[in-house]
Structure formats: C-alpha cells, structure tokens
Amino acid sequence: MTAPLAASAAPPARVEELQARIRGMQATRLDSKAVPTHPALRSVLPGGTLREGTVVQVEGSMTLLMALLSGPSASGHWVAVAGFPEFGVEAAARFGIDLERLVLVPDPGRQWLTVVAALADVIPVVAVRPAGRVSPAESSRLQARLRQRGATLLVAGDWPGSDARLGVEASEWHGLEQGHGRLAEREVVVSAARRGEFVRSARSRLRLPGRALEFAPVGQGAAELAEPVSLDDTRRRAAG
Amino acid sequence: MSVDPGRTIVLWCPDWPVLAAGREHGLDPVAPMALIEAGLVFACSAAARRDGVARGLKLREAQYRSPDLIVLDYDVALDARMFEPVVRAVEATVPGVQLVRPGTLAMRARGPARYYGGEDAAAEALLATVAELGVDGARVGVADGPFAAEQAARAAGASPFLIVPPGASARFIAPLPVGLVVDARTNILLSRLGVRTLGELAALPDADVRRRFGAAGAFAHERAAGREHSRVVARTPPPEFEVEQHFEPPLDRVDQLAFAFRMRAEEFIDRMRAVRLVCTALRIELDDERGGHSSRSWLHPRWFTPADVVDRVRWQLQGAGTADDGLASPIVRLRVVPERVDSTGNHEEGLWGGGPDERVHHGLTRVQSMLGHEAVVTAAIGGGRMLADRQVLVPWGDRAPERPNDAPWPGSLPALAPASVFRERLPITLLDASGTSVAIDARGTISSPPERFAVGGGRATPVRAWAGPWPVVERWWDAEHAKRVHRFQVVDDDGCAWLLVRDADGWWAEARYD
C-alpha cells in the first residue's frame, strides 16, 4: 500500500514519460482516422482532432457541443443529436451545422443506449445525453461497436472509459452591460483531459462564439497554460 | 372525314362535389352547403341554391344570402375518390365507361341499348345502379355525341332521363347559350357580335369561323352544329392495389394487429411489384368497434416495404403509446390504399447499391420503429418571433411544411441565437435590490433594475449584466392569440447568459446561451 506514495515522489518528467508509455500501449485507436474538426478546437482536443471510434465527454455547454458537431457537418457528414429536447436548431444552423444532414431524437427515453447504437451504425458523429447510468460493460460494448463502425460519440454526461473530456470551466460574455447592449461574444476557458487523467488537464481560451458567430482561439496566450500534446508526440515519447 | 360519334349515354350526378364533401364530413345533404375554391363558391347544395347562392359568388356574399351556410374547401382529390365506387358500379352494369369528370360519366349507347332492349331501358338500369349507391337525383341523357348527351342530361329537369332522337341533336342544342362551347373571352366577343346561342353560331359559315377564331373556334363551331369528333374513350379500369382486412373478433392489441396484417402487407407490396410499381405514399384507414374512424396519409422518402407498411399501421394505432398498450376500442377493419405509386425504374438501385443516404435512411427507420414515427425528426427554420415557433421539427420521412422564413419578423432575435431553447419555459424569479420581483408597466419601463436572479425555486444569484425590456407584440388584433411579452438578456454570476421573457403570468426563461 505504500507503493503509490513512493511513485509520487519520482520526478514529474519521469512520471509523464511513463504515463505516455502506458497510454501508448493501451491505446485502442492509434490507427483510427481523424474526423474533420473545427479548426478552433485543434488546440483544445487531445490529439488535435476528433477520431473515429472514440468517446468524448462534453460538459456544461451546448455551444461547445455544436462546435464539435459543426466540423464533421460542414465536411458533409451526417450528425445525430439524441436526448437534447432543448437543442437550439437555429443556433446550430448559424454555427455551421447543416440542417439537411442533422437528425434529432429529442426523447429516446429508456431505450437511449439502443438508439445510440442504432444511430452510430449509420451516422458518423452522434451526440447523446445519457438518460441514466451506463455500466462499464455496456459502455465497452458500445465502444467496440463505435470502433467497428468508425463513429464518434459525444456524451454530455458521465461515461466510463471515455477517451477525452472537455468542459467549460469559466465563461464570460461581452457586449451586455448594466441595462444596455446585447450579448455579442463570449470567451470561455475549456479544459480538456485525456483518458485516465483526472487531475491534469489542458486549458485553452476560446471565443465561443465570437462577434461574427465564429469559433476561434483567443490570442496566442492560450498555449501558455498547458501545451497540448499531439498524438505524434505521444507516440514518439512512447517509442523513446 | 368527319367521325360519327355514335349514340352516347351520359350519366350526370348533380352537385356531386357537395354530395361527396357532405359524405366525407358526415353532413346532412339537405343542409345549405357550399364548397369554396379561391374565395369563390365552386359548388353548392340545393338548399343553398334556394337561398340564392350560386357558383362564382364571393364567400361573403354567399354567407350573407344564406346565413346558415356550411362552408367547406373544395377538394379535387376527395371528389374523385368518392366517385370511384360509382364508376366501378356503373362499369359492372355497362362496360366501356369514360370518366368525363367526377360526377359525370359517358358511355356508348349501342351496346347497352341492345342488351337492355332500348335506350330508355338502359337509362333506367343505369339510374337503378347509382340509386343503389345512395346517389339520388342522377340524370341520364342520350344523344348523338357526348356533348349533346350531357346537355340532354342537364336539361332532363324533373324526369330522370331525356332521350334526344337520332339526328335531332343539332336542333336540341341550338337554343343553348354559346358559352357552353367557348371560353369566357370569346363568349363576350360573340355576344357583342350578336351570336348568343349555339344555333346562331352553327349558322355561321365554317370557313369564316375558322378564319376569325382559329382552331378552337372551329372546334366549338362543330360542336354547336352537332358534329362532334370526340367519341367516348372508355377508361381502362386501374388495377386494384388496396387491401382491406376485417377482424372477427375485433383485435384490441397493437402487436396482435400488426402480426395479423403482416401477410396482407406483403401481398399489398407484391401486387404492386408484379406490375413494376413502388408505393411512395399510402393512406391507412382504421374502423373501430364503436364506429370511430381514423384515416391518415403516410409518406415514405423512398418506397414502402412490407415491414414499413406494418410499421405505419402500428404508429397510427399506438399514437404515443408503446406496442403493449391496449387500444381505446378494438379494431374491426383495416384498409391500406396506395396514394402515390411510381415506376420501379425511377427507384432502381445503382449497380453498387445506393449511396450512404440509403444506409442513413435504414438506420433511422429502425430507430423510428423502436420509438415511433414522431421520435426521429429533422429540423428546419421557420418564421416567427418566439424561438419555439422558429424551429420546425419534421418527422423523418415526412415532407417539411413550406413556411416562409425570409420575412423580416420584426421583434425576433438578432443574429446570435441561443444554443438551448426550452420546450417548456422555465419559471424564474428576477428580483431587484430590495428583493421584490421586477415589474414592467404598460409603457414598457421596468420598476427597478434587476439585481438577483433564480431559476425555479433555486438560490438567487447576482445578475452581472442585463438589457431589456424588448417588447414583442404578436397578433394584437386577435384576442385569442394575442401575445405581448417583454424580453430580457441576463448574464448570471456563473457567466451564463439567459433569454428571459416577461408575460402576464410572470417571468420565464425562454432559452439559454450556454
């Protein structure tokens, strides 16, 4: 029982390298293809892009979810949204999601997991809000199916064994004052954590959305908080 | 060169559109009733005519003349659909029937006259046939050619039929107004020229009429002279695709019914496939034990397979319930009618299978059969001021309703749209510094600036920024649907922005920018 304490005393660089090696060996998706992703999210997502067969948790922001969906949708993929009765269609359209290739299942009810599996069979990017807890067995079964079909699942909620976790930590609106003005743009701090990381997470500042309804990183200061590690680096480190 | 049209029988059911609409809507046929097309009376019942309603009258004028008038929209499809059983029954009595228009049938007289022993006997047989179907007051006219025969049927008056002797047709139609054979413009021109009846038109020299009025005029001239070129062209009875199943004893469970109907559904699709057709729209009619009737059209983005048909039956039965639910009343009869069929050639799959969209369709259909037709939707943006009005959700497979969304809609939100639009608005409280709810007076000014904000019964958090009120006034002329609300944008302490509305009932959150 004293082993973890001893390990925590090791120099951080060494721990990081070991973690990278473990990740490299555990990785189930080294060869999985990248899904077209909105350029603004490159600095946010671990690995720089969404990948086929992965599960990404998205917490606390519908706009962030729409930003994730807009990339695949703009490049001609179908996207599905299940379990979000309040999904703002007009906002989705203005943020670049093609309504022609958007399918909504507002109330999947108790069968939501089956519905997600059926959607993931045919639709490459599926967003879902779980209506209940998922057991690890169910989640790994679904993830196997996602990998087989090359689909990406965005989950607004808890998901055992998700590949990445994005969350909005802070949000600040500009344009609205005390009694005048109107909402114009918002800056958010998005935190991103990879599989297995619960403490360390990369933070980036994004305009979500900006004045012209665009998504963009704020300045270049974002990288100072934590340099996002691209997947190639991970591999190199794992190899080295 | 002129073709002898031959003796023709025309069967005419007066006021057929009114009769058909009355039957469909279960109305009393003796009540004053009018069908409206483009704001004008298209047809009216005998009672309405007694009140002074006539074809071509404006709706308001018709209602003024007959205050009890029942007004319905004219539906061409309904008209034709209701007439179909009549056509079938007449075809069983006399073969070779031409459908002139719903309510009017033409057929050649020679065969029936010989079979029934005379034209009058044939006319009586026809009248007896339609009377069996409950069509009262039908008239039969017999003359040389369809046009003259139709005029004879219309002129029959009180007697059930009128037979114009052979060769006397020209004389019979001579006193009729010239408007029967020419369009409205030519009619005015002819009456200015002093030609008011068919007889007068027929008396003009053939070549002159052709020179002055062209081919259409020459055609009208020949009709007026009783020399018709058109003959009765018998229709080919369309193949029957509809299937009907009676349940004895009546079934009251959706799954039982779906199972019982499976065979019929396959037969329905197979019969169409045999003549290289696919069904892209169909209508399902259900009758229950208590006499209830439900009818609904279903569209398919591609074409119906037997499983799709069974699915549609299930969805129509269960509504929002699940497959195990009992029905309100047991079903005694189920009928499926194809509404639109298409050649399979237009729906052939490519050599390497269909595109990816076909897969998407199959997957979504599976989800639909799990959750119901309405559960899988595609979205479009419609017109409106309130956010919920602007999103139009269309069940997968249905056609999107055409709603204009290019109108400016003064009062709707600017470019930034909220990401979460609540289906049910959330009750909130908006308090000022002294802890009382913020109020808005009739002139649209607020009592005091908002300071604290709480969703539902939650803890009140400080308001960081706010703006408003932005009034939205809708349909002020309509007391029932009038809406007058004030909108606010508010940023709460967590940096989350809300769109609030204030109406007569209090404060609500309409949407969230999250």
Give the distance from residue B471's alpha carbon to the nearest chain A alpha carbon, in angstroms.
Answer: 14
Name chain A contacts of B396, Cβ cutoff 8 Å. Answer: 103
Q: Which pLDDT does position B501 carry in this prediction?
A: 92
Across the range B108-112, mean pLDDT stands at 87
Q: Which pLDDT does position B132 carry in this prediction?
A: 87
Q: Which of B377, B387, B467 has the CB atom closest to A104's CB atom?
A: B377
Tell me, rounded to whole angstroms, the distance of Cα A11 from its chain centroid. 30
Listed by number, the residues of chain A in 164-193 with a beta carbon closer than 8 Å to a beta carbon of chain B are: 170-173, 176-184, 186
Beta carbons of B430 and B453 less than 8 angstroms apart: yes
**Would the pLDDT of A18 be above 80?**
no
Rounded percentage of chain B residues whose pLDDT exceeds 90: 9
A75 touches chain B (CB under 8 A): no
Q: Which pLDDT does position A223 carry in this prediction?
A: 42
Beta carbons of B35 and B74 less than 8 angstroms apart: yes
- Binned at pLDDT 50, 70 and 90, residue A6 comes out as very low
Across the range B130-141, mean pLDDT stands at 86
Q: Which residue of A has its CA nearest to B463?
A: A178
> What's the token pair of residue B458?
């939650």
Classify each residue of B252-273 as buried b or exposed e, where b means 16 or more C-beta atoms within 10 Å of its C-beta: bbbeebbeebeebbbebbebbe
B467 to A173: CB separation less than 8 angstroms, yes or no: no
Across the range A62-72, mean pLDDT stands at 92
**Would the pLDDT of B28 be above 70?**
yes
Q: Which pLDDT does position A102 carry in this prediction?
A: 92
**Would the pLDDT of A221 be above 60?**
no
- Binned at pLDDT 50, 70 and 90, residue A31 comes out as low
Name chain A contacts of B421, Cβ cutoff 8 Å. Answer: 86-91
**Would the pLDDT of B275 be above 60?**
yes
Mean pLDDT of chain B: 85
- Binned at pLDDT 50, 70 and 90, residue B421 comes out as very high
Question: Which of B491, B496, B498 to substitute to test the interface with A, most A CBs within 10 Å?
Answer: B491
**Would the pLDDT of B378 be above 50?**
yes
Q: Which of B370, B379, B465 has the CB atom closest to A114's CB atom?
A: B370
Structural domains of chain B ordered from first start: 7-163 (3.40.1170.60), 174-224 (1.10.150.20), 243-347+355-370 (3.30.1490.100), 415-513 (no CATH)
What is the number of CB-based contacts under 8 A between chain A and chain B? 149
Q: Which pLDDT does position A3 carry in this prediction?
A: 46
Beta carbons of B210 and B222 less than 8 angstroms apart: no
A171 to B396: CB separation less than 8 angstroms, yes or no: no
Across the range A78-93, mean pLDDT stands at 93
Name chain B contacts of A184, Cβ cutoff 8 Å. Answer: 416
B330 Cβ contact list (under 8 Å, min separation 6)? B247, B249, B250, B251, B252, B288, B289
Beta carbons of B486 and B502 less than 8 angstroms apart: yes
Q: Which pLDDT does position A67 carry in this prediction?
A: 92
- Binned at pLDDT 50, 70 and 90, residue B420 comes out as very high
Listed by number, the residues of chain B in 389-418 with a beta carbon closer than 8 Å to a beta carbon of chain A are: 390-391, 393, 396, 414-418
A118 to B366: CB separation less than 8 angstroms, yes or no: yes
Could you report the per-residue pLDDT of B457-493, keeping only the tens digit for each?
788 889 999 998 888 888 888 888 888 899 999 998 8
Name chain B contacts of A145, Cβ cutoff 8 Å. Answer: none
How far is the C-alpha of B111 from the C-alpha of B104, rounded, in Å? Answer: 19
Q: Which residue of A has its CA nearest to B514?
A: A61
Q: Which pLDDT does position B237 carry in this prediction?
A: 67
**Would the pLDDT of B112 be above 60?**
yes
**Would the pLDDT of A128 be above 90?**
yes
B323 touches chain A (CB under 8 A): no
How far is the C-alpha of A83 from the C-alpha of A58, rounded, in Å? Answer: 14
Rounded percentage of chain A residues whose pLDDT exceeds 90: 29
Cis omega before residue A130 (within 30°)?
A: no
Least confident stretch, B7-16, B194-203, B397-406, B412-421: B397-406
Listed by number, the residues of chain A in 3-42 with a beta carbon closer than 8 Å to a beta carbon of chain B are: none
Measure the CA angle with vertex A161, ends A155 and A166; round to 5°.
45
Listed by number, the residues of chain B in 328-387 with a beta carbon closer than 8 Å to a beta carbon of chain A are: 356, 359-360, 362-364, 366-367, 370-371, 375-381, 387
Beta carbons of A80 and A182 less than 8 angstroms apart: no
Q: How many other CB atoms are there within 10 angstroms of residue B155's CB atom?
A: 17
Across the range B500-507, mean pLDDT stands at 89
Could you report the per-residue pLDDT of B343-355, keeping only the tens digit for each?
877 766 655 555 5
**Would the pLDDT of A178 be above 80?**
yes
Helix (H, G, I), strand (E, B) or coil at B312: helix
> What's the token pair of residue B112?
């029936």
Give the distance from residue B316's alpha carbon to the nearest chain A alpha carbon, in angstroms.
Answer: 19
- Binned at pLDDT 50, 70 and 90, residue B265 comes out as very high
B467 to A99: CB separation less than 8 angstroms, yes or no: no
Q: How many other CB atoms are there within 10 angstroms of residue B176's CB atom?
A: 17
B513 to A170: CB separation less than 8 angstroms, yes or no: no
Strand order in the sheet with B277-288: B243-253, B326-343, B277-288, B293-299
Classify each residue of A37-62 as buried b or exposed e, where b means 16 or more C-beta atoms within 10 Å of its C-beta: bbebbbbbbbbbbbbbbbbbbbbbbb
Q: How many other CB atoms are there within 10 angstroms of residue B107's CB atom?
A: 25
**Would the pLDDT of B365 be above 50?**
yes
Across the range B481-506, mean pLDDT stands at 89
How far is the C-alpha of A226 from the C-alpha of A44, rounded, in Å? Answer: 10
Q: Which of B379, B390, B489 has the CB atom closest to A99's CB atom?
A: B379
Q: Which of A78, A88, A178 has the CB atom closest to B465's CB atom?
A: A178
Q: Which pLDDT does position B435 carry in this prediction?
A: 86
Name chain A contacts of B369, Cβ cutoff 8 Å. Answer: none
Rounded percentage of chain A residues whose pLDDT exceeds 70: 79
**Would the pLDDT of B44 be above 60?**
yes
Beta carbons of B109 and B118 less than 8 angstroms apart: no
**Would the pLDDT of B61 be above 60?**
yes
Could you report the per-residue pLDDT of A39-64, keeping only the tens digit for each?
888 888 887 888 888 899 998 899 99
- Binned at pLDDT 50, 70 and 90, residue A198 comes out as low
Listed by number, the residues of chain B in 158-187 with a beta carbon closer than 8 Å to a beta carbon of chain A are: none
How far is the C-alpha of A142 from the C-alpha of A55, rounded, in Å? Answer: 10
- Binned at pLDDT 50, 70 and 90, residue A237 comes out as very low
Could you report the per-residue pLDDT of B179-189, keeping only the tens digit for each?
888 888 888 98
Radius of gyration of chain B (CA): 32
**Would the pLDDT of A27 be above 90?**
no
Across the range B116-142, mean pLDDT stands at 87
